[in-house]
Amino acid sequence: MSEAAAPADEEEPLGPSELRDPFIRQELKRAGVWFGMGIAILAVIFLAQPLMLIFGGIVFAAIIDGGTRLLGRVLPIGRGWRMLIVTIAALVFLVGTIWLAGVQLAAQAATLRDILTTQVNRLVEWGALYGLGVDSIEPQQLVEQAMSSLGRLTSAVSSVLGGLTNLVMIVVIGLFIAAEPNIYERGIAWMLPSESRERFYRTSDRVGSTLRRLMAGRLLGMAVEGVGTWLLLMAGGVPMAALLGLLTGILAFLPNIGAIISGVLIILVGFSAGFETGLWAIAVYAIVQVVDGYLIVPYVARKTVDLAPALVLGAQLIFGALFGILGLALADPMVAMLKAALEQKSEDDHDEHEEEQEALQMPAAAI
C-alpha cells in the first residue's frame, strides 16, 4: 500500500455524484421543482384542449354526484341506483336540449338572424341621424360576427358536428369519476408525501363540496332564467320566446357575459315586434336578472364561495383567451375551486401555528 493511500478505517468524503450527500439531494429537489414547473407550463400550452375536457368531466361528475347525494335524502336506495337515475335524467336533458335546439328551433334561428340585421340597421340609422359617427359600420357584417360568436358560445347544443365529440368526452369522463370518486382521490394522495395526505383529503373534501353546491346553484339559475324568460316573453307576445328562453338558460352558465348576450338578443327581438313589445322585453330581462342577482346568486354564494363579479369576469377573459370556449365556460368553477383550496390551506396553516404556539407555552406553564 502506498503512503498516499487513505487508511482503511477512515471514511472518504462524498463525491458530487453521491445521492447520499444532503447538499446534492437538496439541489436535486430544487431542480425537480423547476423542471416540474416547466413541464406544467408546456402541458398547459400543448395540452390545453384535453385539460379542459378533463376539467369539464370533473365539473360534470360534481353535478352527477351532487344530484345523487340530493336524491339520497328523499329516496333511500343504493348509491348505484340513485346515480343511474340522475345520469339518465342528465342525458335526457342534454339530448332533449340538442334536439330542441337543432331540429325544432332551426327555422327560428334563421329568422333571428334576419331580425337582428333589421334591428342593427335601425340602430345605425338612428346613430347617423344624431351624428354619432356610425356611417362606416356595415350592419350585415356586424350581425354575422355577432351570430358567429353566439354560435361558438352555443356550439355544444346547437351544432352536433362542432360540439358533440367534446360533449361526449366530458360526459364519459364525468361518469367514470362520479362512479368511483374515491379511487381517483386515493390515487392522487398516493403520489403525495405521507405527511401531506391528511391535508390533501381535507382540501379535496372542501373543494368537492364547493363545486357540487356551485353547480347546483348554477343549474337552478339556468332553470329559473330559461323557463322564466320563456314564459314571460310568451305572455308578452315576443317572437321566438322558446328560442330566447333556451339561449338565456344556456348562457346563464356564463356569469356576467351570458347575461349581457342574452339581454341584447331579447331586447332586439322584442323591439322587432313593436315599441310596447320591446318595453315588455326590457322588463322581462330586468325581472329575470333581478331574481337571479338578488335571490339565487346570494343564496348560492352563502352556500358555496362568494366570488367577486370583477374576479369572475377577469378569469373569464383570461381563461377564454387561453383555452377558448371551454375555458370561458369553466372559468367560474376553476376560480371557485382555487379559492376553496386556498381557504382550506389558510385554515390548516392557522391551526398548525396555534398548535406550535401551544407546544411552546407548555414548558413555561409547567415551570
pLDDT of residue 298: 72
Backbone dihedral angles phi then psi of residue 75, each to the nearest 5 degrees: -130, 100
The pLDDT of 321-331, averaged and rounded, is 82
The owner of cell 344624431 is: 130
Better-predicted residue by pLDDT, 111 or 316: 316
pLDDT of residue 157: 40
> In the predicted model, what is the mean pLDDT of the chain?
77
Task: Note down the domain range covering 176.
Answer: 49-205
pLDDT in tens, 39-54: 877 777 777 778 888 8
pLDDT of residue 247: 83
The pLDDT of 187-191, averaged and rounded, is 87
Better-predicted residue by pLDDT, 111 or 178: 178
Following CA atoms 17, 21, 27, 31 in sequence, which dihedral angle do they give, to the nearest 10 degrees? 50
The pLDDT of 178-202, averaged and rounded, is 87
Better-predicted residue by pLDDT, 256 or 173: 173
Task: Reply yes or no on whether the pLDDT at 181 is more than 60.
Answer: yes
Task: Reply yes or no on whether the pLDDT at 231 is more than 80.
Answer: yes
pLDDT of residue 152: 43
Task: Reply yes or no on whether the pLDDT at 159 is more than 50.
Answer: no
Q: How many CB atoms lie within 10 A of CB 246?
A: 24
Domain count, the chain: 1
Better-predicted residue by pLDDT, 85 or 150: 85
Better-predicted residue by pLDDT, 12 or 76: 76
The pLDDT > 70 percentage for the chain reads: 73
Task: Reply yes or no on whether the pLDDT at 153 is more than 50.
Answer: no
- Residue 84 within any structural domain of the chain: yes
pLDDT of residue 151: 44
For residue 46, which amino acid is it?
Answer: F
Q: How many CB atoms lie within 10 A of CB 258?
A: 23
- Residue 320 within any structural domain of the chain: no
- Residue 221 within any structural domain of the chain: no
pLDDT of residue 271: 82
- Residue 38 within any structural domain of the chain: no
Q: How far apart are CA 315 and CA 213, in angstroms?
A: 20
Task: Reply yes or no on whether the pLDDT at 158 is more than 50.
Answer: no
* Banded model confidence at residue 85, pLDDT cuts 50, 70, 90: very high
Q: What is the DSSP string of 159-212?
A: -HHHHHHHHHHHHHHHHHHHHSHHHHHHHHHHTS-GGGHHHHHHHHHHHHHHHH
CA-to-CA separations, 111 to 114, 223, 238, in angstroms, rounded = 5, 25, 13
The owner of cell 323591439 is: 271
pLDDT of residue 13: 57
Q: How far apart are CA 171 and CA 91, in angstroms?
A: 9
pLDDT of residue 70: 86
pLDDT in tens, 249-283: 888 888 778 888 888 888 888 887 788 888 898 99
Contact in structure between 19 and 28 (CB atoms under 8 Å): yes
* Banded model confidence at residue 293, pLDDT cuts 50, 70, 90: confident
- Residue 16 within any structural domain of the chain: no
- Residue 112 within any structural domain of the chain: yes
Contact in structure between 242 and 105 (CB atoms under 8 Å): yes
pLDDT of residue 364: 52
- Residue 229 within any structural domain of the chain: no
Q: Answer positive or negative: Cα dihedral of 53, 59, 65, 70.
A: negative
Q: How far apart are CA 330 and CA 316, in angstroms?
A: 8
Q: Three-state DSSP class for 21?
A: coil
Better-predicted residue by pLDDT, 100 or 289: 289
- Residue 71 within any structural domain of the chain: yes
Q: Answer positive or negative: Cα dihedral of 3, 9, 11, 17.
A: positive
Buried b / exposed e along 135-153 (16+ C-beta atoms within 10 A): eeeebeebbeebeeebebb
Task: Reply yes or no on whether the pLDDT at 142 is more than 60.
Answer: no
Q: How far apart are CA 67 and CA 136, in angstroms?
A: 52
Q: What is the DSSP string of 254-312?
A: STTHHHHHHHHHHHHHHHHT-HHHHHHHHHHHHHHHHHIIIIIHHHHHHHS----HHHH
Least confident of 61-75, 140-154, 195-209: 140-154
pLDDT of residue 266: 87
